């Protein structure tokens, strides 16, 4: 019988429900949108990554903007109170 080792990640997933809490109780709309548009944050220890939205074939800029806006609104709605 073969046994496989589980996949181990170097870093932990970020808790996206405490973004506001970590920003003095205010949701940082503009920085979040910039990360969604461009990939990882410039303040992040992560290597620079391009946005997944930029890689979707056949998506025009209006649809890309709408998807980023919708995701940003969702992230704002799940913030811990």
Tokens of 48: 């620079």
Q: Tell me: the pLDDT tens digits for 50-72?
A: 567 666 767 788 888 898 899 99
Work out how many domains the chain is built from and give that number.
1
Could you tell me if residue 4 is inside a domain? no
pTM listed for this prediction: 0.70
Q: Which domain holds residue 73?
A: 29-77
| CA gap 70, 55 in Å, rounded | 18
Q: What is the mean pLDDT of residues 4-12?
A: 66
Residues in Cβ contact with 45 at an 8 Å cutoff, skipping those fewer than 6 apart: none
Could you tell me if residue 67 is inside a domain? yes
What is residue 40's predicted lDDT score, i.e. its pLDDT? 67
Could you tell me if residue 9 is inside a domain? no
Q: Tell me: the pLDDT tens digits for 20-35?
A: 999 999 999 999 998 8
């Amino acid at each position: 019988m073969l046994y496989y080792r589980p996949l181990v990640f170097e870093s932990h997933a970020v808790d996206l429900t405490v973004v506001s809490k970590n920003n003095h109780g205010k949701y940082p709309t503009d920085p979040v949108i910039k990360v969604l548009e461009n990939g990882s944050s410039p303040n992040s220890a992560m290597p620079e990554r391009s946005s997944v939205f930029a890689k979707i074939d056949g998506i025009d800029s209006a649809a890309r903007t709408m998807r980023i806006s919708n995701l940003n609104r969702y992230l704002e709605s799940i913030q811990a109170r």
